[in-house]
């Protein structure tokens, strides 16, 4: 569309062209609205031309309004020009046209020269500075309009009321749109990142992990130096699988929260440890730190009393009101009276590192032990991050 201003072209192709920021799009629509309001003001004043005591002055005022409309459309088109001086000049022009109306129309005027044209400045303030800008501009225009009238009629009061509530409402709506757009963009970026992680995980699983698994098996079969190579390949396979699982569970959390499931997956780097999760479990960051330390202490006891590399399983589940973690091994169990003797001897690993930490979090630690193995059941209330 040659000859048509860029903001008008963007507004006309709203659903077909590239999407800019919320503010850019709203200023594009405001450009169209300014033209409509200017045409309305010109038509209204031509129809009421007999109300002017200075017709030439009225024509000059309308010409100035037209010139400012063209300048404003051009100036607001570039976001780098949307500075306080531009918005201040926009509002001053609107207020000036209102205050000049009694001079051009004489006393007892029923309508100002700019009429609804002043909405251009009001909406610009609301778009750029949200509800506070809309309220400030509405107050300025309302005060200037009421100050030139000898009598405030019901219609004047209604217009003032609409200006005072319209500006903040539009500003609030614009701010809400901007936040929703930011949340949408963030969700799209997170979805794209998750898809890329999944693609890389599939590629690694289909290639590197299978090779490492093959090296581990063949090394064990061949023995000698090959067995050591197979053992190293097995360790790297565990580390790589842990990394993939961590990436699968990465999710954007609220401020001050941590994905407990992803944090516990780090413990899978220990020989024999397997972490089972049902998805992300968001908890307060300090709670996650304490729970990881508790589980690590449980696994330390497994390695110390059952043996290095002894199998151990960690299961974490998140509920609406609590988080539950189970740490289980297949050792011979804890002999009766050992924990009491350890506490009496000053060895406070269980009483402080496990039970003490859980108690500080307002939770409960239950121990089940026997010939089939030992299991810690840890339960803590789910508290929102501050």
CA separation for the pair 227, 213 (Å, rounded): 13
Confidence of residue 137 (pLDDT cuts 50, 70, 90): very high
**Mean pLDDT on 150-164:** 86
Residues 378, 288 share a domain? yes
Compute CA 181 distance to the chain's CA centroid, rounded to the nearest angstrom: 10
**Percent residues over pLDDT 90 in the chain:** 39
Phi, psi dihedral angles at 274 (to 5 degrees): -130, 130
Q: What is the mean pLDDT of residues 190-203?
A: 72
> What are the DSSP calls for 266-314, one per residue?
GGGGSTTEEEEESS--EEEHHHHHHHHHHHHHHHHHHHHHT-TT--EEE
Q: Which of 161, 185, 209 is the last residue of a domain?
A: 185
Tell me: the pLDDT tens digits for 315-353? 999 888 999 999 999 888 888 777 767 665 555 556 567
Is residue 114 helix, strand or coil? coil
Query: Does residue 201 belong to any structural domain of this protein?
Result: no
Neighbours of 330 (CB within 10 A): 14
- Arithmetic mean of pLDDT, 211-235: 78
SS3 label, residue 325: strand
* pLDDT class of 14 with cuts at 50, 70, 90: very low
The pLDDT score that the predictor gives to residue 19 is 40
What pLDDT does residue 350 have? 62
Region for 336 from its dihedrals, namely left if φ exceeds 0, alpha if ψ lies in -120 to 50, beta otherwise: beta
pLDDT at 372: 86
pLDDT at residue 155, rounded to an integer: 83
| Residue 181 and residue 91 share a domain | yes
pLDDT at residue 200 tops 80: no
* pLDDT confidence bin for 67, thresholds 50/70/90: very high
Output 124 or 259, whichever has higher pLDDT.
Answer: 124
Per-residue pLDDT tens for 227-266? 888 778 777 766 666 666 655 554 445 557 888 888 888 8
Residue 193 lies in a domain: no
Q: Looking at the structure, tell me whether residues 19 and 96 fall in a common domain.
A: yes
Q: How many CB atoms lie within 10 A of CB 312?
A: 26
- The boundaries of the domain holding residue 179 are 6-185
Query: Given CA atoms 340, 341, 344, 345 in this order, what sign does their dihedral have?
Result: negative
User: What percentage of the chain exceeds 70 in pLDDT?
Assistant: 82
Q: Are residues 258 and 180 in the same domain?
A: no
In a shared domain, residues 28 and 137: yes
Same domain, residue pair 282 and 147: no
Looking at 129, 151, 185, the residue that finishes a domain is 185
**Pair 30, 152 in one domain:** yes
Predicted confidence band at 13 (pLDDT cuts at 50, 70, 90)? very low
Q: Is residue 211 part of a domain?
A: no
Average pLDDT over residues 99-116: 88
For the chain, the domain total comes to: 2
Task: Name the least confident of 89-103, 116-130, 208-222.
Answer: 208-222
262 and 158 co-located in one domain: no
Compute the radius of gyration of the chain from its Cα atoms.
36
Q: Which of 14-23, 162-171, 368-377 has the lowest mean pLDDT?
A: 14-23
Residue 162 sits in the same domain as residue 270: no
Helical packing angle, 154-204 and 22-47, nearest 10°: 160
Q: How many CA atoms lie within 13 A of 196 on its CB side?
A: 6
pLDDT for position 12: 38
pLDDT for 112 equals 92
- With b for 16 or more beta-carbon neighbours within 10 A and e for fewer, the 37-51 pattern comes to bbeebbebbeebeeb
Mean pLDDT of the chain: 83
| Structural domain ending residue among the three candidates 185, 202, 218 | 185
Q: What's the rounded Cα separation, in Å, for the pair 350 and 331?
A: 17
Evaluate the CA torsion angle 42, 44, 46, 51 in order and state its sign. Answer: negative
**Residue 221 belongs to a domain:** no
* Residue labelled with tokens 């997956």: 265
Of the ranges 34-43, 44-53, 230-239, 327-336, which one carries the lowest mean pLDDT score?
230-239
**Tens digits of residue pLDDT in 72-100:** 999 999 989 999 999 999 999 999 999 99
Question: Does residue 192 fall inside a structural domain?
Answer: no
* 285: in domain: yes
Give the CATH number for residue 265: 3.30.565.10
User: Do 258 and 118 sit in the same domain of this protein?
Assistant: no
pLDDT band at 2 (very low <50, low <70, confident <90, very high): very low
Which residue from 211, 215, 212, 209 is spatially nearest to 227, judged by alpha carbons? 215
13 and 144 both lie in a single domain: yes
Residue 242 lies inside a defined structural domain of this protein: no
Strand arrangement of the beta sheet that strand 373-381 belongs to: 273-277, 312-318, 322-329, 373-381, 364-370
pTM above 0.95, yes or no: no
CB 261 within 8 A of CB 273: no
- Number of Cβ within 10 Å of residue 181's Cβ equals 15
Judgement on whether residues 33 and 164 belong to the same structural domain of the protein: yes
386 located within any domain: yes
């Amino acid at each position: 569309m040659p000859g048509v201003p860029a903001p008008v072209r963007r507004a006309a192709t709203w659903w077909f062209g590239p999407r800019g920021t919320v503010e850019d799009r709203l200023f594009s629509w405001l450009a169209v609205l300014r033209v409509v309001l200017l045409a309305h003001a010109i038509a209204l004043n031509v129809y009421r031309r007999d109300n002017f005591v200075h017709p030439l002055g009225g024509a000059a005022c309308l010409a100035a309004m037209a010139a400012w409309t063209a300048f404003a459309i051009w100036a607001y088109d570039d976001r780098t020009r949307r500075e306080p001086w531009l918005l201040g000049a926009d509002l001053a022009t609107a207020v000036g046209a209102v205050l000049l109306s009694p001079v051009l129309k004489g006393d007892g005027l029923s309508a100002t020269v700019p009429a609804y044209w002043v909405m251009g400045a009001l909406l610009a303030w609301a778009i750029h500075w949200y509800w506070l800008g809309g309220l400030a501009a509405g107050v300025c225009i309302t005060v200037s309009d009421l100050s030139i009238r000898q009598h405030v009629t019901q219609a004047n009061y209604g217009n003032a009321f609409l200006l005072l509530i319209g500006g903040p409402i539009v500003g609030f709506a614009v701010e809400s749109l901007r936040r929703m757009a930011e949340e949408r963009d963030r969700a799209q970026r997170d979805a794209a990142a998750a898809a890329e992680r999944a693609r890389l995980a599939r590629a690694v699983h289909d290639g590197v992990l299978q090779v490492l698994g093959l090296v581990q098996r063949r090394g064990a079969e061949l023995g000698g130096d090959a067995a050591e190579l197979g053992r190293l390949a097995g360790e790297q396979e565990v580390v790589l699988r842990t990394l993939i699982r961590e990436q699968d569970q990465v999710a954007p959390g609220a401020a001050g929260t941590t994905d407990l499931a992803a944090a516990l997956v780090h413990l899978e780097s220990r020989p024999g440890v397997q972490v089972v999760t049902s998805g992300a479990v968001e908890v307060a960051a300090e709670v996650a730190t304490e729970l990881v330390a508790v589980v690590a202490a449980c696994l330390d006891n497994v390695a110390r009393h059952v043996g290095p590399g002894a199998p151990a399983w960690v299961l974490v589940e998140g509920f609406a009101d609590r988080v539950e973690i189970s740490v289980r091994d297949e050792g011979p169990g804890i002999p009766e009276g050992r924990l009491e003797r350890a506490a009496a001897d000053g060895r406070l690993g269980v009483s402080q590192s496990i039970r003490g930490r859980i108690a500080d979090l307002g939770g409960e630690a239950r121990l089940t032990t026997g010939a089939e193995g030992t299991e810690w059941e840890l339960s803590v209330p789910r508290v929102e991050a501050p």
